[in-house]
């Protein structure tokens, strides 16, 4: 069994997680065949979509740079999605790609805002 709170492995007859203290009621069994396989949740797909929007709208500087506007939530959602799926024992492919798009879009959006004079440097 693996703890759904911290991911630690436990015996089948454990009452509490030895790492974080969560009761046995919240410990889930992870099928070893499905461990480390891709997993697609709503949050990871939303991260991917928002990351793509961030990347392609980051050069637009008529706001405070849309890379900042969309990039920060994308990065936060990407981290949340990756942590959630890793605890479950899976690998979050859309979340990782969305996080990468979000980081690149944020950096490019900040750079283009500085170049356009929206953010004084």
| Structure confidence by residue, pLDDT tens digits, 61-80 | 555 566 677 888 888 988 88
3-state secondary structure at position 121: coil
The C-alpha atoms of residue 31 and residue 34 are separated, in whole angstroms, by 5
Is residue 69 within 8 Å of 121, Cβ to Cβ?
no
In the numeric block, which tokens belong to residue 31? 């099928």
Q: How far apart are the first and last CA of the chain?
A: 53
Positions of the chain with pLDDT lower than 70, given as ranges: 1-2, 4-5, 24-39, 61-67, 118-121
Q: What is the pLDDT of residue 38?
A: 60
Separation of alpha carbons 101 and 15, rounded Å: 42
């Amino acid at each position: 069994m693996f703890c759904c709170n911290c991911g630690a492995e436990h015996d089948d007859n454990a009452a509490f997680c030895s790492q974080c203290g969560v009761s046995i009621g919240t410990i889930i069994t992870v099928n070893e065949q499905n461990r480390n396989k891709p997993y697609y949740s709503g949050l990871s797909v939303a991260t991917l979509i928002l990351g793509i929007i961030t990347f392609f709208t980051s050069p637009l500087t008529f706001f405070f740079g849309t890379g900042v506007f969309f990039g920060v939530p994308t990065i936060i959602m990407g981290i949340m999605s990756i942590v959630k799926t890793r605890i479950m024992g899976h690998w979050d492919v859309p979340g990782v790609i969305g996080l990468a798009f979000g980081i690149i879009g944020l950096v490019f959006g900040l750079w283009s805002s500085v170049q356009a004079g929206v953010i004084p440097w």
